Amino acid sequence: MSSSTDWKRAFSDYPGPYERLVRAADTEIGAFLDFDPSRRTNAAPGSVSGGDDPLADLPFAVKDNIAVRDFQLSCGSKILGDHVAPYDATVISRLTAAGMVPVGKTNLDEFGMGSSTDNSALGQTHNPWDLTRVPGGSSGGSAAAVAAGLVPIALGSDTGGSVRQPAAFCGVYGLKPTYGMLSRYGLVAYASSLETIGIIGADPATIEETLHSAAGMDERDQTSIASPRGVRVHSAGTSETSLPARAAFLAGDLDLDEPTRAGYQRFRSAVEELGVATEEVELSTTEVAVSAYYTIATAEASANLARFNGVRYGNRPIYAENPEELVRRTRSEGFGPEVLMRILLGTYVLRSGFQEQYYQRAQKIRTAVRNELDALFEHYELLILPVFPTVAFPHGDAGLSPFQQKLADRFTTLANLAALPALSIPAGVYGGLPVGIQAMGPARSELQLLEFARRLATKLPVEHPPEYQESICDRILAGEGA
């Protein structure tokens, strides 16, 4: 696996080969919507930043619902199209201050609404393990770019599993931090009380360095909180952070496909080999979490997406008789069917007479989820559960229906409802497709989760897609693309 030092050397010393090789590889994958490594730096090769930070000169990709100055900000939607961001999100400002270089914007389900990235209006992204299958969603472009070795690290957003699920489908790590750990300033809002920017990477150490540079309070985001608790894992691999004493696994028939069931069992065996005691637990809120999540998320989407009305920015019809027709045509022509469906559902549950029946009841379930997990973490340091009940499914009608995809979010939505951190960890490859299992911890336990993943990698090493065994970095340093 390429180190950060290798990546920095390959990117900064060989910018031309890097760009050519990524563009060539991405013609098959479709991870990027906007790719231009030179757009944010005019420095001479070998001195992109000149800084001493361990992240200096490291390229990274950004999901196209996070603002990066001078790059497009489309949210995978026709309604924004080729809109260009005039400013940087806070996380981008902090990472570029550390010397990292944003090289492009990645594909996503429109406005982050989906589990496949097939809901993008601007292109299709394929899973590097099998190009006939989805990379997951909604951060599918970011996960595919990391899995194919186009970048070592990528940012996504996680509202109900949108970082962890594509990371699991593509066989890489995906961190959903504690709510507020990473500022949401510059993240296009979908469901503000649930979503957070997340990090996808090929190894826990680089994710940790990225988190360390990006985390912290932000005066422009009143929901932001202080950096994570714990001791950082240093480059030498030493840490004072100990392994958890006890980890809880979900009990009962979880209705998993065979590869995911095998991965879950293998994951538990690997945890026990590390000396961690495991016990099975039941969560009473698991089966109702998805209903509560979609009620709250669609209600917030209905309010947040009201700003896309064809007046201030984005695409608009050439002609409209009056302001009402302008808004109607802008939204009906600009939004895809999944986004329209969620806006309609959210508007419905917020209607007078229905709020108590749906929205307020969902908020009570959310409180119950949070209370149940808080009680669990009084006895266990970790909760281990699947990310998704299946491996990556095929594109189109051969895959899961939109309704089946929503029901399958039952494992990931828990962390969003409770505002807790969770990390998708590769658990092996079964039948040619990777399986990811997630570890969830109490609030601000990101460093403990990443240290747990680092030690678990000795038992469950990361595997790479057959066609992408060598990253772009490896190929450049081997002399290819010159």
Q: Which residues are catalytic?
A: 63, 138, 162
> Within 10 A of 469 (CB to CB), how many other CB atoms are there?
10
Torsion angle (degrees, nearest 10) of CA 377, 383, 387, 389: -110
> Within 10 A of 313 (CB to CB), how many other CB atoms are there?
14
Q: Which of 374, 389, 384, 392 is nearest to 438 (CA)?
A: 384
* Beta bridge partner(s), residue 66: 187
Q: Is 29 exposed, middle or buried (0-12, 13-18, 19+ CB in 10 A)?
A: buried
**Would you say 41 and 99 are in contact if contact means Cβ atoms under 8 Å apart?**
no
Residue 321 structure tokens: 């008789």
Q: Encode burial over 180-196: b for 16+ CB neighbours within 10 A, e otherwise.
A: bbbbbbbbbbbbebbbb
Rounded Cα gap, residues 247 and 339, in angstroms:
38
Cis peptide preceding 115, ω within 30 of 0: no
